[in-house]
Structure 1
Amino acid sequence: MSETALLVQRLAEAVGPDAVSTDPAVLAATSHDTWPVATKWARQGLHPHQADVVVRVADEADVVAVLRVAEETGIPVTTRALGSSVTGQPLPTRGGIVLDVSSLTGPHEIDEIDMTVTVPAGVNGGELERALQEAGWTTRFSPQSLYRSSVGGWLATLATGQFSSRYGGVEDLVVGYRVVLADGAVAELTAAPRAAMGPDLRRIFLGSEGTLGVITRATLKIMPIPAARELAAFRVPDVVSGLAILRAQAARGLRPALLRLYDVDEARHAMADADVSSPVLFTGTEGEPAIAAAEMAVLTAIAEEYGAVAIGPEPVEAWLDRRFDFSTVERLLDTAGGYAETIEVAHTWRHIEALYTALRKVLEPLADEVLVHFSHVYTQGTSMYVILLGRADDDAAATARLTEIWATAMQTCLDHGAELSHHHGGGLARSPYSRRSLGSAHRVLRRLKHALDPDGLLNPGKLGL
């Protein structure tokens, strides 16, 4: 009996034969996510990162059983949920087992007194948000992939949402969670509402991309649906002025729910108007009516100090209606030779303008269009999101161009001391640059990995591990 056949037999004994698959179609499907490079591989019939077996688990006990089999056999395990990663995080670099946790679903539990919701990790984020809103609650966590991503995926990739300038990222949303370690042990990490008994252990697994453990259940903060919302769009003289507005409002302590500064090239897309000739700023405040109105009034005054001109709420309303639309990128990727990529990075106020200028300069020769916006704002700086659209001779050439884009962008960010990812995480796209990006901190990550997964079985090949 072959090694794979023995593995399949062990897994079938552990979780039942119906949960275990070696069907070529299933193996092929789980060898890709929504990373554009992987999409191009799929169009060419290429499967460079394919598992030997896929196990679709139904509950935490199944996860424990699979990881114990993996530990006993020395077989690597790569966790996969809904496959919405855009950087290759759930792709198995050493074959082995793909642990499909998309069936870790079930009812959520709302605690209206403590204002939390507890939910299995495989639950679709959009379905959870819809159910919460029907009950009068919301997480206000809204990644563009809301309806394509899982709650556990948010934690594993350190995700953030479109309203993060007010509500923060997933690290601010999560109260606690359960995680299965490499040896099958289960740990519950929580703080109610804050704890100072040692380091905040909840942070260890956030953003770890399945390399340290498998998250099975999470408790998140919820709040009543905001009573009011104010929206406004502005024409801005230039990107420098727009960044000055973002910095000034942060310095004055505002917390608008929405801040999106588009450079002129992306402003034409955001406004659906090819004649737009200046950057555009989309803003939104929310909460109690008087507070939302007052915050918008102050934000408007700050924008006008830097030469911005209000153009009404309609452009923002239109964007809100289509903010989950991926079709431009998807259509281009689904054509022969078409390529598209999204790269989100971050830097401080002191350095963000130079990074913007440098990235545009090196990336413009590599695509037909380079579009940039700034959409997650902090007291010390902001994220920068780059969209590249282009066409090559064929899909092989498109794949090569995407590889060149990544190498060029990452090296430029390293040269400028920028954060290589703001919210898409590392995956295969950024793993080669992880050690240089994290520097001496990568030694801490390696020691954590050795302590929690000494045989290196969990999602190998990610985060420079």
Structure 2
Amino acid sequence: MSNSPLATTDALAQLSSDLQDVVSADQLITATVELEPYSHDWWPLAAKKAQLDEHDHMPDIAVKVKAVDDVAAVLRYASKRGVPVTTRALGSSVTGQPLPSRGGILLDVTGLTGTPVIDAINHTVTVPAAVRGDDLEAYVREQGFTLGHSPQSLNRSSAGGWVATFATGQLSSRYGGIEDLVVGYTVVLADGRTVKLEARPRAAVGTDLRQIFIGSEGTLGVITEVVLKIFPVPETSIVEAFTLPSVRAGIDAIRTLAQSGLRPSLVRLYDETEARHATGRDDLGLPVLFLGNEGIDSVARAEHAAAIELIGDLGAKSLGAEPVEGWLGRRYDFSTVESYLNASGGYAETIEIAGRWSEIAAIYDALTGALAPLADEVLGHFSHIYNQGTSLYVILLGHTTDNRTAAERIEEIWKVAMTTTLANGGELSHHHGSGLARKPYIGLLDEGAASVARDLKRAFDPAGVLNPGKLFD
């Protein structure tokens, strides 16, 4: 904890004493053995560090929040005293957002739960920030609705975390990312003020302030409640898999779909390597596209037929519904990555970036080529499409001699991936945010945008206590 401004016994004792005037003593965690888990999330590098018994990002103290008032009280205290505060909910980040970089207070907001409130007329649900995604989806499903938001981490991530990290889900081509799905939210600022930001359904009185905190990763405030759109459970859902002659033909196919005006619910293009994993078939040797359409029966069927006609002109050949149905049954399964990480010397990494249609094929070639020497397998897929471009998701699986070497390999993977992406005109991240993994490369982005981001940070957090060391801080 040498990075902490409180790394003396007297300072820590004073912090603990002070916080007992702010929250109940039973809400404080001070024992080292209980603080160590807070220095790790689902970032593969953090997993290897845990196996090495290294806890580089441990807080000095943790506060288990029981109510929004606790959040406000802790932030007021921290801002006055200049004590760093890092917010953490379910810890499902894969890039290190909730890991303290300067010790201080870890604000554990997993206590911000409760029963969601559905507005069946206006099609929204209001939910405490730490409610888990799968619990929320199950709740709205009971009422005949769906969130339309299905990240792979659905069963280990929270509504507030989705907003804070700019999340998106597997059905984004129909429903959009979290920026499209969030109606409003409540955020506690560094000085303890609680602010509700919403639009009913759209507001043109000045800047849309809701956008400021989306993707802010806890550096500008703490999100405590979220209002999300909900949608009627689709009457019909149709899925089908197709082979394509090449990755470039596949990119042309998904670009055609994105720019056609159709709204498929599922679009996932796997390169020939990942296609083996996605379909469970080793005999294809070709990229595979998963396509889905849903909604009112007649519309879903018409859109699916139109989509098939479009991609058929580009060489798509049907494999039927079975490969997609199999994937749907295991789409939240993270066990392959976990098994590699749990093995001594094993490593796995999942890195997503984005690029315009005019550059994404070259980015794919450069990125997979540069990463190939660093893993036993490099898998690639494109899973979120837009008029202007798409995401590219690269998964690396491998084994080295020991956990130390595996940790070093993961760091090397990030360096190669980020520098290659920037050199070829791509975006550093599409939906996992920045955290600690991308922090070293943010300085390579446009300085004009960075200066505006720093101005916002100074305005909302003048003492610089909220999740320091992240984003443009």
Normalised TM-score (structure 2): 0.97
The answer for the alignment partner of 1:386 in structure 2 is 394
Q: Kindly state the Cα deviation for residue 275 of structure 1 after the two structures are TM-superposed.
A: 2.3
Once the two structures are superposed, residues 80-121 of structure 1 have per-residue CA deviations (whole angstroms, 9 ceiling, x without a partner) of 000000000000000000000011001111111111100110
- Contact 1:420-1:437 at 8 Å conserved across structures: no
**Residue 406 (structure 2) aligns with:** 398
Q: Which amino acid aligns with 1:405?
A: I
1:137 pairs, out of 136, 145, 148, with 145
Match of 1:295 among 298, 303, 314: 303
User: How far apart in 2 are the matches of 1:438 and 1:197?
Assistant: 29
Contact 1:419 1:437 (8 Å CA) reproduced: no
Partner of 2:381: 373
User: Which amino acid in structure 2 is aligned with residue 440 of structure 1?
Assistant: G
Letter of the 2:106 partner, please give it: V
Conserved? CA contact 2:126–2:226, under 8 Å: yes
Q: 1:321 aligns with which of 318, 329, 332?
A: 329
Count of aligned residue pairs for this structure pair: 465
Letter in 2 for 1:165: S
CA distance in 2, matches of 1:252, 1:138: 25
CA contact (8 A) 1:337 1:398 kept: yes
SS in 1 for 2:437: helix
Question: CA–CA distance in 2 between the matches of 1:372 and 1:230?
Answer: 24
- 2:261 equivalent in structure 1: 253
Q: Secondary structure at the match of 1:119?
A: strand
Matched-pair contact (CA < 8 Å) for 1:26–1:54: no
How far did residue 60 of structure 1 move?
A: 0.6
State the AA in 1 paired with 2:306: V
State the AA in 2 paired with 1:224: P
Given the alignment, which residue of 147, 150, 165 partners 2:158?
Answer: 150
- Which runs of at least 4 in structure 1 moved beyond 2 Å after TM superposition? none
Q: How does 1:234-273 map to 2 (within 5 A)?
A: 234-273=242-281
Could you tell me which residue of structure 1 aligns to residue 62 of structure 2? 54
Contact 2:270/2:381 (<8 A) preserved: yes
1:193 maps onto 2:201 in alignment: yes
* Letter paired with 2:242: F
SS in 1 for 2:397: strand
Match of 1:23 in 2: 31
Residue equivalent to 1:177: 185
1:25 Cα deviation from its structure 2 partner: 2.0
2:58 is the counterpart of 1:84: no
How far did residue 186 of structure 1 move? 1.1
Find 1:203's aligned residue among 202, 208, 211. 211
Maintained 8 Å contact 1:40/1:399: yes
Q: Which residue of structure 2 aligns with residue 7 of structure 1?
A: 15
Match of 2:468 in 1: 460
Distance 2:317 2:447 in 1: 43
Assess if the C-alpha contact under 8 Å between 1:180 and 1:187 holds in 2. Answer: yes
Report what 1:449 is aligned to. 457
Alpha-carbon distance in structure 1 between the residues aligned to 2:22 and 2:470: 27
* Residue identity opposite 1:200 in structure 2: D
**Does the Cα contact within 8 Å between 2:235 and 2:295 map onto a contact in 1?**
yes
Runs (5+) with no aligned partner, structure 2: 1-8
2:5 is aligned to none
Most deviating of 328-337 and 437-446: 437-446
2-structure distance, mates of 1:406, 1:293: 42
Kindly state the Cα deviation for residue 439 of structure 1 after the two structures are TM-superposed: 3.5
User: Does structure 1 retain, via aligned residues, the 8 Å contact 2:82–2:464?
Assistant: no
Deviation at 1:438, TM superposition (A): 4.3
Q: Output one character per residue of 1:18-55: Cα deviation in whole Å (capped at 9) or x when no partner.
A: 11111212210100000000000000000011100000
Structure 2 CA distance for aligned equivalents of residues 307 and 5 of structure 1? 68
Question: Which of the numbers 331, 343, 359 marks the counterpart of 2:367?
Answer: 359
Deviating more after overlay: 246-255 vs 199-208: 246-255
**TM-score calculated relative to the size of structure 1:** 0.99
Q: Does 1:66 align with 2:74?
A: yes
Deviates further, 368-377 or 250-259? 250-259
